[in-house]
């Protein structure tokens, strides 16, 4: 609503945005990012979701209403925004400890030691891209700060990346700046964290881990690039804990997951990048997830024997997130499954393609319509929950209302292709991993990694 308020105030129309107490720091930070640090807000006592109708009415009439009236009738007080240093300014000099203390005290680090981004180190990164250092890939909310090539290199240095990772970092920020991804939701209540999946020849060129322990730290490319993502969110997009990052519990950054393309090719499946129309290219795909679950001992000699466990596990991972299927963000739910190679090979040995697997999951990973509607109505308190009404109004596919039987089984997503599948992890373990997707609050986006002309020559010799 602050964006609507900014548009109104910019046009000379008085406004007043209602803000719960816990979100006042976020409103202040977001107003600065919108270029109007004095946007008028009216405080709402407590949280409306935990108050009776009588208490909410009393608080609104006796407290909030007067703030709304004042905001509409009085001009907001002038506020001077804080100035920022220039992109090339040296902000601190000193030894390793002094620089790290300064970065931490000024909220420029994640609390772990950073590599001081000296000019020499930044320029080493710039040699691995043909784009100009001042080129912007877009303005990132909430702070509306330009995502420049220079700032990408700076944060890459800080995260402990190697200079040759620069093409990957640039592709990631292109994805972050893509409107479809929705970077502005990175500080929302569920505290979802982005999963980065990488494909293509660059996996082996840069030494990404794509086998055992694929989501574990301990590998420079996977770990440092994952950390870079979170540093860039705080230092450039502007998400800071206790301010405009309002995650209730939060997650920390995830290491980059690299697909095992040797196995994908062996079994004749499409890669994750091919599913996004980028077959054969080095690519990054990002999507934000609230959490995940490791499913162990997925046993069976055939695909048919494996599937009951997998389908049940997929359904159990989802509760309130189905509001991205029906309601908020219609049809934007994108479950992400990681299959260990031996599981993928067993499924493929039954003659199943990845498309067959997705179709089976779509048709069998389902819940009763009665339960689907109850979760939307009672747990998420969404006004959109009646599947019959939504289908008859033409807003959702027929598969959600094939009869009036409340116990009919309905899918999690609109179509089989909405289920993302990546092959990775330990070569001999029979496990899968399921991520609960955050819908429009981190929609999947894939970007190609553009390499400099002399890429092969520039790569460090192993």
Q: Where are the alpha helices (DSSP H) in 237-339?
A: 261-267, 272-275, 303-316
pTM: 0.88
Residue 460's CB is within 10 A of a number of other CB atoms, namely 9
What beta strand segments (E) does 193-329 contain?
193-199, 257-258, 283-295
Segments in the chain below pLDDT 50? none
Q: How many CB atoms lie within 10 A of CB 48?
A: 14
- Contact between 333 and 413 (Cβ < 8 Å): yes
Q: Is the peptide bond before 107 cis (omega within 30 degrees of 0)?
A: no
Nearest to 237 by CA among 159, 322, 151: 151
pLDDT in tens, 56-90: 777 777 777 787 787 777 666 655 556 788 888 88
CA–CA distance, 226 with 257 (Å, rounded to integer): 9
From CA 438, how far away is CA 291, in angstroms rounded? Answer: 9
CA distance 110 to 403: 52
pLDDT tens-digit map of 252-284: 999 999 999 999 999 999 999 999 999 999 999
CA 146/CA 192 separation, integer angstroms: 23
Residue 128 CA to residue 460 CA, distance in Å, equals 12
Cis bond before residue 113 (omega within 30° of 0):
no
Q: Give the pLDDT score at 182.
A: 96
pLDDT of residue 375: 94
Half-sphere exposure of 398 (CA within 13 A, CB side): 2
The predicted pLDDT at position 275 comes to: 98
């Amino acid at each position: 609503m602050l964006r609507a308020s900014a548009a109104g105030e910019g046009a000379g129309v008085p406004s007043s945005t209602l803000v719960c107490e816990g979100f006042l720091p976020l409103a202040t930070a977001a107003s600065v990012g919108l270029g109007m640090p004095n946007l008028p807000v009216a405080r709402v006592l407590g949280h409306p979701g935990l108050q009776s109708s009588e208490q909410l009415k009393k608080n609104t009439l006796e407290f909030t209403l007067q703030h709304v009236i004042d905001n509409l009738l009085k001009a907001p007080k002038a506020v001077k925004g804080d100035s920022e240093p220039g992109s090339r300014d040296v902000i601190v000099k000193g030894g390793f400890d002094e620089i790290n203390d300064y970065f931490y005290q000024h909220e420029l680090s994640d609390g772990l030691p950073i590599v001081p981004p000296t000019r020499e180190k930044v320029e080493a990164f710039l040699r691995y891209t043909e784009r100009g250092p001042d080129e912007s890939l877009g303005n990132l909310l909430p702070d509306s700060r330009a995502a420049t090539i220079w700032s990408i290199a700076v944060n890459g240095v800080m995260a402990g990346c190697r200079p040759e990772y620069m093409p990957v970092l640039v592709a990631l920020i292109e994805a972050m700046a893509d409107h479809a991804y929705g970077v502005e939701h990175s500080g929302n209540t569920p505290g979802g964290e982005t999963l980065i999946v990488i494909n293509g020849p660059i996996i082996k060129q840069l030494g990404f881990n794509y086998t055992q322990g694929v989501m574990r730290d301990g590998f420079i490319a996977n770990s440092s690039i994952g950390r870079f993502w979170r540093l860039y969110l705080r230092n450039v997009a502007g998400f800071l804990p206790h301010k405009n990052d309002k995650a209730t519990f939060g997650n920390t950054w995830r290491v980059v997951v690299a697909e095992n393309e040797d196995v994908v090719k062996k079994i004749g499946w499409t890669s994750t990048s091919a599913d996004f129309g980028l077959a054969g290219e080095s690519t990054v795909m990002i999507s934000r997830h609230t959490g995940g679950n490791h499913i162990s001992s997925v046993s069976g000699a055939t695909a048919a024997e494996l599937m009951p466990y997998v389908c049940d596990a997929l359904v159990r991972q989802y509760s309130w997130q189905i509001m991205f299927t029906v309601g908020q963000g219609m049809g934007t739910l994108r479950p992400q499954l990681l299959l260990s190679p031996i599981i993928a090979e067993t499924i493929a040995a039954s003659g199943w393609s990845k498309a067959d697997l997705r179709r089976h999951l779509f048709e069998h990973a389902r819940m009763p319509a009665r339960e689907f509607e109850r979760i939307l109505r009672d747990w998420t308190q969404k006004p959109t929950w009646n599947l019959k009404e939504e289908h008859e109004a033409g807003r959702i596919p027929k598969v959600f209302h094939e009869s009036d039987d409340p116990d009919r089984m309905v899918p999690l997503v609109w179509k089989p292709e909405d289920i993302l599948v990546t092959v990775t992890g330990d070569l001999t373990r029979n496990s899968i991993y399921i991520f609960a997707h955050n819908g429009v609050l981190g929609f999947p986006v894939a970007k190609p990694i553009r390499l400099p002309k002399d890429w092969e020559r520039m790569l460090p010799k192993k």
